Amino acid sequence: MAFNSRRLVYSRANRGDYIEFAAPGLQIWAPTPGGDGRYLSGTSLAAQFVSVLAALHTAKARKLTAEKLRHVFRQQTVDLGAKGKYPSFCYGLVNIQPKCV
């Protein structure tokens, strides 16, 4: 699920029971062919945030199963409404800050 900086759902974001988490997905600077870049919006941009966070966590804990990773994410989301999963904002906005060394 894609959100903007004001935590509003992207009007064209994918929706459905299969989506669990939300991430920034509007006006994200992305590379374009030719070495340039531009601001893009979409659910696929939000998915990249969640994918990178998942990869960072699995790299730290190699035996982290998909369900355990979901549990970690659920514990570290910003609820955008009542606690729990809702069709309009999933479990919430991912709020995991990876540490770089």
Question: Is pLDDT larger for residue 46 or for residue 8?
Answer: 46
pTM higher than 0.75 for the full model?
no
The amino acid that residue 74 corresponds to is: R
Contact 40, 28 (CB under 8 A): yes
Q: Count other C-beta atoms under 10 Å from residue 51's C-beta.
A: 11
- Tokens 């064209």 identify what position? 12
Phi, psi of 93 (to 5 degrees): -85, 125
pLDDT of residue 101: 41
pLDDT in tens, 73-92: 888 787 776 676 766 667 77
In the Cβ-directed half-sphere of 79, how many Cα atoms lie within 13 Å?
7
pLDDT reading at 99 higher than 60: no
